[in-house]
Amino acid sequence: MRAVDLIQKKRDGQELTSSEIEWLVEGYVSGTVPDYQMSAFAMAVYFKGMTTREISDLTMRMVHTGQEFDLSAIDGVKVDKHSTGGVGDKVTLILAPLVASFGVPVAKMSGRGLGHTGGTIDKLESIKGYQVERSQEDFIRQVQDIGVSVIGQSDQLVKADKLLYALRDVTATVDTIPLIASSVMSKKIAAGADAILLDVTVGEGAFMKTVDEARELAQTMVDLGKAVGRKTVAVITDMSQPLGRAIGNRLEILEALEILQGQGRQDITHFICELAQIMLGLANVNKTVEEVHQHLENGQALAKFEEMIQAQGGDLEDLYRPVNVAHVVDIPAQETGVISALPAMEFGLYAMRLGAGRTVKSDALDYETGIVFEKKVGDSVQKGEIVAKVYTNGKISPQLVTDFQKYVKINDSVQSLREIIEIIS
Ligand code: URA
């Protein structure tokens, strides 16, 4: 076979056979298919798409390019969760211990942030001592002992995705359903959980800009999971504004603690309780949202979180430490009205420029910087009232404020947003 023939076949809108897909994936991982040919292939997929059979073959070939985790030594139904990316998305930090506090084991591998999106592993690393790298044995032992572990994605997991994701990132081929579905599901299948909750984000700050696209991605991934015997449910969730109040690594840890103490904003707290209810349901533990919420109120979820932080070497005193930055800058509202839009992508990029995120993979992070919103979409504001606070170690200038204010949209009224738009199972 020749890569050029397979690129041409896809470019012309034809369906590749299983053995052609296998040859391409293996050739890419072994180095016989170079980056330039794989990027041409990714672009052909971007324009011509893939059939359901092709996506399934691609996903399973990718799974076999790395280590496949065996979690069978852990009793019970192991549930995993994955988000297709967002701004201010600290959901895993709360959801993992919350679900585990009901006795359902959560063995989760998470990623790092890039561009406008944040990553759970970066947030956890902002806690002094927290170890994100664990051997498979230690990971499994911790879940057996305390019911929860969140670690960084193993280098050995789905090598094809590691290579292909980096290539897609620099060749404008990330936001295409066949490649997102195979990337996400190859990792979830290789990570070994019995059941998977997929959070498919939609809106200005997400890869999927419309609910129709998000629905197609969600259904594709649910079908891939079910085809290999994993119970899989997807929720389509709003990412038109940042999730919760904080963007930035330590600031998001502090917001997660607030929510775990039952003191978070009502909207994000309710959203996380709904996700937890679905995850618990996947493990055959049926609870009402109110019963889930109880574990935030009575400290059981927080205790599980602290247990996890300690088990992975994290310092509990440092966990509760306030952020340490040179300047906290207030952002006042420019008019009176109702907040009608806070574009997630723009604020994700703003936080990235403060040092909270990376432009390229090798960038170092400033864990302490970021944004805390005092107001979210739907909240009323008076002119001059504080909409947000910016935490920075950089130079302060009037532009820091005006750059922020230009993205805060204020109107007379606003359509209310729903966090969960649809559930696909
Ligand atoms: N998240 C992933 O893991 N892969 C993608 O392709 C997009 C989002």
161 is catalytic: yes
State the DSSP code for 210: S
Q: Higher pLDDT residue, 361 or 249?
A: 249
Residues sharing a CB contact under 8 Å with residue 90, sequence separation 6 or more, in sequence order: 120, 123, 243, 244, 246, 252, 253, 255, 256
The whole-chain average pLDDT of the chain stands at 95
Task: Indicate if the pLDDT at residue 293 is higher than 80.
Answer: yes
pLDDT digits (tens, 9 = 90+) for 47-106: 999 999 999 999 999 999 999 999 999 999 999 999 998 899 999 999 999 999 999 999
Task: Indicate if the pLDDT at residue 360 is higher than 90.
Answer: no
Half-sphere exposure of 244 (CA within 13 A, CB side): 30
Half-sphere exposure of 33 (CA within 13 A, CB side): 27
Task: Classify 200 as helix, strand or coil.
Answer: strand
Q: What CA–CA distance (Å, rounded) separates 219 from 375?
A: 34
Tell me, what's the pLDDT at 43? 98
Ligand 1 site, residue 59, Cβ cutoff 6 A: no
12 is catalytic: no
175 CA to centre of ligand 1 in angstroms: 9
183 CA to centre of ligand 1 in angstroms: 6
183 is catalytic: yes
Q: Whose CA is nearest to atom 7 of ligand 1?
A: 180
Task: Indicate if the pLDDT at residue 169 is higher than 90.
Answer: no
Task: Indicate if the pLDDT at residue 129 is higher than 90.
Answer: yes
Provide the residue type at 1 as one letter.
M
Q: Which residues on neighbouring strands pair with residue 200, listed in sequence order?
A: 236
Task: Classify 223 as helix, strand or coil.
Answer: helix
- pLDDT confidence bin for 191, thresholds 50/70/90: very high
pTM reported for the whole predicted model: 0.93
Task: Indicate if the pLDDT at residue 417 is higher than 90.
Answer: no
414 CA to centre of ligand 1 in angstroms: 31
Ligand 1 site, residue 85, Cβ cutoff 6 A: yes
Tell me, what's the pLDDT at 116? 84
Tell me, what's the pLDDT at 114? 77
Ligand 1 site, residue 84, Cβ cutoff 6 A: yes
Highest mean pLDDT among 339-353, 359-373, 410-424: 339-353
**Which of 54-63, 307-316, 376-385, 413-422 is predicted least confidently?**
413-422
pLDDT digits (tens, 9 = 90+) for 241-282: 999 999 999 999 999 999 999 999 999 999 999 999 999 999
DSSP 294-363: HHHHTSHHHHHHHHHHHHTT--HHHHTPPP--SEEEEEE-SSSEEEEE--HHHHHHHHIIIIIS-SSTTP
Tell me, what's the pLDDT at 413? 83
Ligand 1 site, residue 180, Cβ cutoff 6 A: yes
Closest atom of ligand 1 relative to the 174 alpha carbon: 6
Task: Indicate if the pLDDT at residue 7 is higher than 90.
Answer: yes
pLDDT digits (tens, 9 = 90+) for 216-231: 999 999 999 999 999 9
187 CA to centre of ligand 1 in angstroms: 9
Provide the residue type at 242 as one letter.
P
